[in-house]
Amino acid sequence: MSVTIRDVARVSGFSIKTVSNVINGHPQLREETRARVQEAIDQLGYRPNLSARNLRSGRTGVIGLIIPDLTTAYFAELADAVMRAAAAKGIAVLIEPIGSGRENELAALRGQHRHMVDGIIYSSLTLGSADTEILKGVDTPLVVLGDTSFEGQVDRVTMANTAGAKSATEHLLSIGRRRVVALAAHEGDIVASAELRLDGYKAALEDAGLPFDPKLVYYADSWHRRGGAAAMTRMLADGLDFDAVFAFNDTLALGAMRVLQEAGLRIPKDVAIVGFDDLDETQYSLPTLSTINPRRDQIAQAAVEMLLRRIQDGDGPEANEIETGFSLQIRESSGGSPDSASLATSAA
């Protein structure tokens, strides 16, 4: 015999209505209540009848995730985190990789898949604050992942780009490095996270009393490993004097590391490196890569919960903004231990 919502109510000690509110992600519940109901659900192995629930509510039980691509490791791992967070709420995720470019992003927001989902989580790259009205005009509940300021007009989850970049650079300076390269991508592109990470890099130099040297900012042609490798090849060919690299994402760092090692340079003795994103791969590279962990699971959970509240509440509440924390993982590439156990800096 299958487990029913009545069974969950009996075991948890709450009413069927309260159990239903927990399953549907109702925001006005105490955490103790959620925990007790979830414990009963886990104990009994209860699975909601999604088809019946969706028919009653007029909803699909599906949310959309619009991301640039799945070939970039960060977005692949973000998609996985969103799917897990949604599954915990009994929600499925329709993933739409759109590539790069403003027109692709606009087409996805206006696209044919919107009627198939109850709401959208959208990872913004090229749209800026001037596009606020476009986002407000999307007639599907929307949560934006990204760091462009939309002036509190749309629900948004951001990561601590500036603080994380500052922490990474401060760490390299703290181990005695003074010629720290900022390795970014696509000079001139409007990518808010890249601008904020450069701001954090500059702030760390300023706090240390070191001048900002534009010659130490190198740009790659992509955010992928090939971009980091090509940029590092140019640095070495140019004879650039440097003793550390803060790469604006992990894949850039991994590509740069390969070229450094092929050139006979030792990491971290000759060049120390820190990345950003804490991809799973960074724990297994040789050497293991120091990096900023932007708490991807926290980003995904916050976005899913925010979107479900918006789906339920409609246009009533004001827009919400959440910035997640970060931690600095010190590993072998900057002199740390290989087991990635060191968490040097964190922010709530």
Q: Please state at what angle helix 31-44 crosses helix 5-12, rounded to 10 degrees.
A: 120
Give, for 290, the enclosing helix (H) or strand (E).
Answer: strand 290-293
Domains of the chain in sequence order: 5-48 (1.10.260.40), 62-159+295-325 (3.40.50.2300), 161-294+327-347 (3.40.50.2300)
Question: Against a cut of 0.85, is the pTM above it?
Answer: no
DSSP-derived letter for residue 126 is S
| 100 vs 146: CA distance, rounded Å | 15
Q: How many CA atoms lie within 13 A of 346 on its CB side?
A: 6
3-state secondary structure of 241: coil
Instruction: Give CB contacts under 8 A, 24+ apart, made by 19-28.
Output: 23/48, 23/90, 24/53, 24/312, 25/89, 25/305, 25/308, 25/309, 25/312, 26/312, 27/309, 27/312, 27/313
Parallel/antiparallel/unpaired status of strands 142-145 and 155-158:
parallel
Structure confidence at residue 316 (pLDDT): 61
For residue 244, the model assigns a pLDDT of 97
Instruction: Output the pLDDT for position 189.
Output: 61
Structure tokens at 231: 């940029």
Please list the alpha-helical segments (H only) found in the chain. Answer: 5-12, 16-23, 31-44, 50-57, 73-87, 102-109, 132-136, 161-174, 192-207, 225-238, 250-262, 296-313
Q: Starting at the earlier edge strand, list the strands of the sheet with 142-145.
A: 92-97, 62-67, 119-123, 142-145, 155-158, 321-323
Amino acid at 287: P
Output the pLDDT for position 121. Answer: 92
| Dist CA 185 CA 218 (whole Å) | 8
Q: Are 72 and 98 in contact (CB under 8 A)?
A: no
pLDDT tens for each residue of the chain, 348 residues long = 577 888 888 888 988 888 878 876 666 678 888 888 888 888 888 876 654 554 445 567 899 898 888 888 899 999 999 999 999 888 999 988 877 667 777 777 776 566 678 888 988 776 666 666 666 667 788 888 877 666 667 888 989 999 999 999 999 999 999 999 999 977 766 567 888 999 999 999 999 999 999 999 999 988 889 999 999 999 999 999 999 999 999 999 999 999 999 999 999 999 999 999 999 999 999 999 999 999 999 999 999 999 998 888 766 667 788 889 999 999 999 997 655 444 545 554
Per-residue pLDDT at 250: 97
What is the model's pLDDT at position 148?
66
**Residue type at 18 in one-letter notation:** T
Q: Which of 309, 254, 303 is nearest to 278 (CA)?
A: 254
Residue 4 DSSP label: -
> CB under 8 Å to 188, separation ≥6 — which residues?
none
The token pair that represents 1 in the structure block: 């015999």
Strand 119-123 relative to strand 180-185, pairing: unpaired
Q: What is the pLDDT of residue 297?
A: 94
pLDDT at 340: 45
pLDDT value at position 55? 43
Both structure tokens of 165: 């970049």
